[in-house]
Amino acid sequence: MRYKLTLSLLLFFIGAFTLIAYRSDDELFGAILKKMEAYNVSHEQEKVHLHLDKPYYAIGDDIWFKAYVINAQTSKPSTISNILYVELINEKDSIKAQLKIPLIQGITAGDFKLAESFSEGNYRIRAYTRWMQNAGTEFFFDKTIKVGNSWSNKVFTSTSYQYSKAEASDAVKATIKFADKDGNPYVNGEVSYEVQLSNRSILKGKEITNAQGEVAVNFNNTQPAIYKSGKILTTLTLPDKKKVTKEVIIKATSSAIDVQFFPEGGNLVENIPAKVGIKITNSDGLGENAEGIIVDNAGQEIVKFDVSHFGLGNLIVNPEPGKTYTAKIKFKDGSEGSYNLPKAITDGYGLSVKNNENDIQVRIMLSKNMVGKGELKLVAQHNGNVYLTTQSNSSKQVISTVIQKKDLPSGILQLTLFSAENQPVCERLVFVRSSIGQISTALSTDKSEYNRKEKVSVVLSGLVNSNPIQGSFSVSVTNASAVKPDELNESNILTSLLLTSDIAGYVEKPNYYFLQDDVTTRSNLDNLMLTQGWRRFLWKNIIAGSIPNSVFSAEKSLQIGGIVTDLGGKKPIPNTSVSLYSTVGTFFGVDTLTDANGRFTFDNITFPDSTKFVVQAKNLKGKKNTIIKMDVVSGQLVTRNKNTGDITVNTNEALNLYLKQSENYFNELVKSGRLEKSIALKEVTIEQKKQRVTVSANLNGAGNADAILTADQMKNCITFTQCLQGLGGMMMRNGVPGLARFGGAPMQIVFDGMYVEAEFLNNINPSDVESVEVLKTIGYTSLYGTRGGAGVLVVTTKRGSGFVSSSSMVVPGIVTYTPKGYSIGRAFYAPKYEPNEPVPGLDLRSTIYWNPFIATNDNGKASFSFYNSGEPGTYRIVAEGIDANGNLAHHVYTYTVK
């Protein structure tokens, strides 16, 4: 929950420096706060967190996830959106899979199958609602995961880089090693390669691998300011003459180090001592530790500093008038560099914050010329909720106060200082660690040590302020011996919803800041707050009223809509009947009328993905001389991966131990006959004759029919039914197709995968048809059951393979349409072993148990059970959850299997 604090809980007065509460008669500042409140009402924001079953995967694995979507202002499960999009994005920034799943009170779950068609590499899982698109992609959940491939992979690459300078360009030497899964090098293999920087080809060549299976690829980046990264496309010819293509990531073309300085509050001001945050990042996107000194323009040493945590640190400097300052930094490789600090402004304000265990000490400092210039205001807000507004006379140069943390919620507190002119002049982020908003979670098992394949019974309990809560939890169990956790780099419900969702840029090892609450951790977390930018809103935009209108509406349900016009496509037709029907399991049909603008909408419908619909419209006279234009929902563009520090060049090498476990797992599935067809097909060579039809909804497969009519054969047909006469013994009686062998009984017509009536045929333009297939023998009609008793006519249009939008369909009054529907989730399978009976075979599962829907009862408890795998080790249970008030839970529990 979120609590707005009274002034008495927040402030006490120090010496002669008195802060007084904001006065209601200050209309200008009151108007700003009202604009803020109005902004929160009109621009509610959502945050997403995905709990994944494990931190990395192999080809053939399933990615299981549960989604938690909260309202950023209330921190409660969101009711703004009822639909969530979850995407799997590859290294080319292309969407490999997209799920559209329903949200119920901010909760949902799903999964991705990493089919054999996927390649190893760095994938991203991105999640967002349509409403979140208004705020921009930087607010999406976006996590990088490593995916390796061992079982179906013959060639493994390992790459190292050396960088140097060649005049104005970056010179790069990439040494690529090719080996089999056992580490044996491919010697004397021909490798052709192409170097691409930002998708621009800069070099092609061929090399022969040496005795270590290596080739060296040397190239120059002549435009380092433009081209920052890329890839090397390699093709290795194996001893059996087969060719294998591998992509090698180029994360950077130089070893350049980026150094940035962030004065606390925003600016350095002459004669005002200030803390300056330092952020040092290497070419891999990770923090680089270093040490150095600050010197003034006369070469006088001012202060020493040390950057020893993920490239983050700070120093204190008191800028003197007319002086400039330089940081001389020595890096861990022995190299050195000089970097200028921001130049100090002559007059202004300073905002100094000390984040203690129980309180936040705030000091406001004014340069002499700012004294007596009116009253200053300090605002503290968290996720759009204003917790403190104070006003102070500027008669003194230093104003101090203390904010008690005991009643503040966990997360980022934004402190903003406003001038007498009501302009924001200083800003500072502070992270508050609080018991408010946290569920005290406990897990217990019936034993502390188990045997392999033994049943484990677990009790989960949740309390808030010692009171039991009813919450929704997700639980993952893995064998830490097979899936080694990286606790520091773990993203969980706390790191996502309290930290990374509210600040700009990449956060290295986010869970580090939540594992301990000691002086060192708080200091390092404060350095992160100094150097990362707030990104939820800008005060200056709120003050100016320049808040953009929301382009995307919050999705409450699946919708199908469009507009009906005359045949010319220009004049909308109002009050006309529109029908929507489909055959998904059973027949589905619904009717509506167009509005005054010719628009129609079918709302509150539910259908699975890939469902094909037929939309039909008739004008007021009952004729079909209309054109239907379906609404086209544009997809979300894929931005570049911001989490560069999590990208691994040698994915398979990084996952070496896990991939061996994965290979053993799949080999065991093959032996037991439990391997899914998508993987088993790799061992089968299938001979297929060439098909005259490549795409259709024929249940027997495209082209498997007794008679076929192709687009080329229909060029001279005036009407579509003219083309059908005589095809495969078919006759037309009153516009109804039938086969002589069935006495002319009406055939079942399948139009772009939809069962339709014979009247559809009269409105089809022959030039729109890709193919016609006639099914009449039992070998082809049996799959259609009783529908195929008199034969089946399969008609596929030239748009029948896509079904994304039918806005260009020219058949009057009718379109086929396949919008994005709900993805159907799968159930997690875990074996059940009977007690006191021998258990044959090996069980090498890496994810032992996954359950995204565990609910605690009135007593705040829930119980569940599962069976261990056949491997010993330390088993790790990770539970995450949320209650109706937005309190969050994250808990890790381990036990031993011998």
Beta pairing partners, 236: 191, 244
Contact status, residue 407 vs residue 414, Cβ threshold 8 Å: no
What are 434-452's pLDDT values in tens digits? Answer: 888 899 999 999 999 999 9
Taking 50 as the threshold, does the pLDDT of residue 685 lie above it?
A: no
- Percent of the chain surpassing pLDDT 90: 60
Encoded tokens for 178: 């090719």
Please give the model's pTM, rounded to 2 decimal places. 0.84
**pLDDT grade, residue 742 (50/70/90)?**
confident
Q: In the predicted model, what is the mean pLDDT of residues 743-766? A: 79
**pLDDT grade, residue 238 (50/70/90)?**
very high
Length of the chain: 898
d(CA 328, CA 332): 14
pLDDT score at 839: 58
Q: In the predicted model, what is the mean pLDDT of residues 860-887? A: 96
Q: How does strand 449-450 pair with strand 888-897?
A: parallel
Give the residue with greater pLDDT, 444 vs 691. Answer: 444
**pLDDT grade, residue 3 (50/70/90)?**
very low
Taking 70 as the threshold, does the pLDDT of residue 724 lie above it?
A: yes
Taking 60 as the threshold, does the pLDDT of residue 773 lie above it?
A: yes
Beta pairing partners, 763: none
pLDDT score at 19: 38
CB-count burial class (<10 Å; 0-12, 13-18, 19+) for 248: buried
Taking 50 as the threshold, does the pLDDT of residue 12 lie above it?
A: no
d(CA 128, CA 90): 17
CB-count burial class (<10 Å; 0-12, 13-18, 19+) for 68: buried
What are 517-560's pLDDT values in tens digits? Answer: 999 999 999 999 999 877 766 788 788 777 777 889 999 999 99
pLDDT score at 836: 62
Beta pairing partners, 57: 147
pLDDT score at 26: 67
What are 635-658's pLDDT values in tens digits? Answer: 888 888 989 999 999 999 999 999
**pLDDT grade, residue 136 (50/70/90)?**
confident
Taking 70 as the threshold, does the pLDDT of residue 121 lie above it?
A: yes
pLDDT score at 619: 74
The identity of residue 734, as a single letter, is: N
**pLDDT grade, residue 253 (50/70/90)?**
very high
Taking 50 as the threshold, does the pLDDT of residue 681 lie above it?
A: no
pLDDT score at 20: 38
pLDDT score at 10: 34
**pLDDT grade, residue 679 (50/70/90)?**
very low
**pLDDT grade, residue 587 (50/70/90)?**
low
Q: Write phi, then psi, for 823 (nearest 5 degrees).
A: -80, 140
Q: Write phi, then psi, for 217 (nearest 5 degrees).
A: -115, 115
pLDDT score at 763: 66
